[in-house]
Amino acid sequence: MLRLEDECVGCPPEMGCLGSACPNRNVPHYYCDLCEEEIDPDDMYSDGEVEHMCLECLKEKYKILP
């Protein structure tokens, strides 16, 4: 699953806040739909049923040996 998370770093007042234009406001994080661990988008798998799946859950689901 994709979650957009607010990673605001609290810019000093003299720098000024960019508000919704800040790149730290909506940072994408990907999580396995089965185990809910955070995964790298390059290490994400889909089988048509489960959209975001880590390799370990893919192996477990299809009983693939390591």
Task: Render pLDDT for 2-50 as a digit per residue (tens, 0 to 9).
Answer: 999 999 988 887 888 888 888 999 999 999 999 999 999 999 999 888 8
Give the count of alpha carbons within 13 A of 11, CB side only.
Answer: 11
| Domain annotation covers residue 52 | yes
Q: What 3-state DSSP class applies to 61? A: helix
| Domain annotation covers residue 6 | yes
Contact 45, 51 (CB under 8 A): no
SS3 content of the chain, % helix, strand, coil (to 5): 20, 20, 60
Domain of 40 in residue numbering reads as 2-61
* Number of domain units in the chain: 1
pLDDT at res. 47:
86
pLDDT at res. 66:
64
| Domain annotation covers residue 66 | no
| Domain annotation covers residue 41 | yes
Whole-angstrom Cα distance, residue 11 to residue 47?
42
**pTM score, two decimals?**
0.76
